[in-house]
Amino acid sequence: MELKVLDFKEFNHIEYKKIESKYENNPNPVTFTLDEFKSIVSLLFSVQYHTPEVSEEHLHNIAGILYEEYPIVNITSKFGRQMIENLDNDYLDWMDSLSNRSYHISEMIFNEELNDFVHLALIDYMIIRKFEYGKFFLNEWSKLFFNLDGYSLSMNVAEIIGVFRTKEDAFKMLCDKLLKKNPDLSGYEVLFLAFTFKELFYKSDKDSINYALTNFIVRDKIHELNTRIDILKLSMIKEINPNQKTNDNTHNKKNNNDKDIDEEGLNKGKV
């Protein structure tokens, strides 16, 4: 079977919390609308891609994905939805069969056949889609990370871009400078920051390896990255605009009045 490049389409995503509130008081299994079903499947894709297993240890991260708490994590479910919209006929028939069944909303994440579908129709193809995913992720994330409403970009950016245009080892130079000014950053965080900068300000047609590496970093480390977004933004500010303070809206913080993530809702579906 020939795997085609994704055809990115418009779609109607429905938030899990809205679906949950619509059906949570119904004691009987329900059949979701097709957009509701696809929205849930796209979130299950993100859960499987970023979480080793559905267990007590990972319930907080799983809840964060389902309730779409963090912009950096939501990018994966958007990519999953594009994969769903591009399914070939065999998997499309399987999805249609699954979407016509009835479910309890609290049991969706633990449904064995639904998880088999996500794994076989979506996750198994990520080894091939890693370049597309990395490119999609960096494109979405770089625009969020360098939110121009939250940054006043200095001439340092133009200088760095100029280095990229004239120096073959510009990427290494940027990584070295980031690490020198921020010695507490891990190697994958330095690469992630450099890839993010290059994607927005100086992408090229030779970035395939960057996209593949981004895929592996984000797949395995997205929860760690999410907890350190403030640190990553400050680290980049030191490089591109030392006098600028961040006005961060890429990491949804909770305050004491915010509703806690409903992990209890996830526990309801456990057997």
Q: How far apart are CA 21 and CA 5, in angstroms?
A: 36
Stretches where the chain sits below pLDDT 70 are: 1, 148-156, 241-271
Q: How far apart are CA 91 and CA 149, in angstroms?
A: 42
In this predicted model, what pLDDT tens digit does every residue of 4-30 receive, in sequence order?
999 999 999 999 999 999 998 899 999
pLDDT value of position 153? 54
- Tokens 């938030």: give the residue: 15
pLDDT value of position 253? 47
pLDDT value of position 189? 97
pLDDT value of position 256? 39
pLDDT value of position 74? 97
Q: How far apart are CA 168 and CA 36, in angstroms?
A: 48
Q: Which residues contact 206 (CB under 8 A, 6 or more apart)?
A: none
The CA radius of gyration of the chain, in Å to the nearest whole number, is 20
pTM, rounded to two decimals: 0.86
pLDDT value of position 260? 42
Q: How far apart are CA 70 and CA 225, in angstroms?
A: 11
- Tokens 């121009």: give the residue: 148
pLDDT value of position 205? 77
pLDDT value of position 258? 41
In our burial notation (b when 16+ CB lie closer than 10 A, e otherwise), range 173-206 reads ebbebbbeebeebeebbbbbbbbbbbbebbbeee
Contact 244, 149 (CB under 8 A): no
Q: Per-domain residue ranges for the chain?
A: 16-121, 128-240
Bridge partners of 30? 103
Q: Which residues contact 105 (CB under 8 A, 6 or more apart)?
A: 19, 20, 23, 24, 30
Judged by DSSP in three states, 10 sits in coil
Tell how far CA 181 is from the center of its chain: 27
pLDDT value of position 257? 39
Q: Torsions phi, psi of 103, nearest 5?
A: -140, 155
Q: Is 32 left (phi over 0), alpha (psi -120 to 50) or beta?
A: beta
Q: Is 57 exposed, middle or buried (0-12, 13-18, 19+ CB in 10 A)?
A: exposed
